[in-house]
Amino acid sequence: MNNLLLNHIARHVTLDLSEQELLFNILILKKLNKNQYLLKEGDICKYDYFVIQGGVRQYEVDKNGKELIIHFGFEDWWISDKASLWNETPSIYNIEALEDTSVLQVKKEHLEKLFSLSPKLEHYFHLVLQQTFAIWQNKILFLQKPAEERYRLFREMYGHIEQRISQQYVASYLGITRETLSRLRSQMFKKR
């Protein structure tokens, strides 16, 4: 069950047994039902989460009450509100399970202690953040492109999980309305 995380780590650094132990001592398995929350707007994010099964969406509710999804987290992803986690400020995000989901959770303070005990593990988290950063950087470019291209790019990146996400959530992630996505799709699939 934790093999997913061990493999993920092994792709970046080689831990010795004592380090593995250090890490696994602070991990807690958490199970969520569909529509349960990992984080609610206004709370301070206290944990980093690694998704081992299922999926979540991370979204903001804007002042008109509209939900803007900024990120999905599926198997093999670390997810949290980094800004809230590291600065201990109230989060503007909600993180909600899209399906029944299992995550490994690790508390911020434990993570900090971990980093001071094992530079290699800090290195791992640093590498993961670099990767995550690159993905988010892409999303910025992506949002400046026309709707159809965004949807194409989305399918390139997330095609393998598209059917696990309802269309309205895909639309929200793309930054368009569900109507626009619906029209886009019927056009695209008519063409060929």
Candidate residues 20, 53, 132, 177; the one interacting with a copy of itself per rule CB under 8 A: 132
CB of 123 vs a copy of itself, minimal distance in Å: 6
Distances (CA, A) of 80 to 21, 95, 139: 23, 8, 17
Q: Which is nearer to a copy of itself, 74 or 150 (CB)?
A: 150
Q: How far is the CB of 149 from a copy of itself (least distance, A)?
A: 9
**Residue showing tokens 């809230």:** 84
Q: Choose between 28 and 188: whose C-beta lies nearer to DNA.
A: 188
Q: Give the β-pairing of 93-97 and 37-39.
A: antiparallel
Among the listed residues 3, 17, 65, 141, the single contact to a copy of itself using CB under 8 A: 141
Q: Which stretch binds a copy of itself (CB under 8 A): 18-26, 38-46, 62-70, 155-163?
A: 62-70
Number of residues that bind a copy of itself (CB under 8 A): 32
Q: Count other Cβ atoms within 10 Å, centred on residue 125.
A: 18
Task: Kindly state the smallest distance separating residue 185's Cβ from a copy of itself, in Å.
Answer: 20
Q: Residue numbers of the site for DNA (CB under 7 A)?
A: 146-148, 166-168, 175-183, 185-186
Please, which residue, 75 or 175, has the CB nearer to DNA?
175
Length reported for the chain: 192
Q: Which residues contact 106 (CB under 8 A, 6 or more apart)?
A: 26, 27, 28, 47, 48, 49, 50
| 74 bridge partner residues | 55
**Residue 169 makes contact with a copy of itself by CB under 8 A:** no
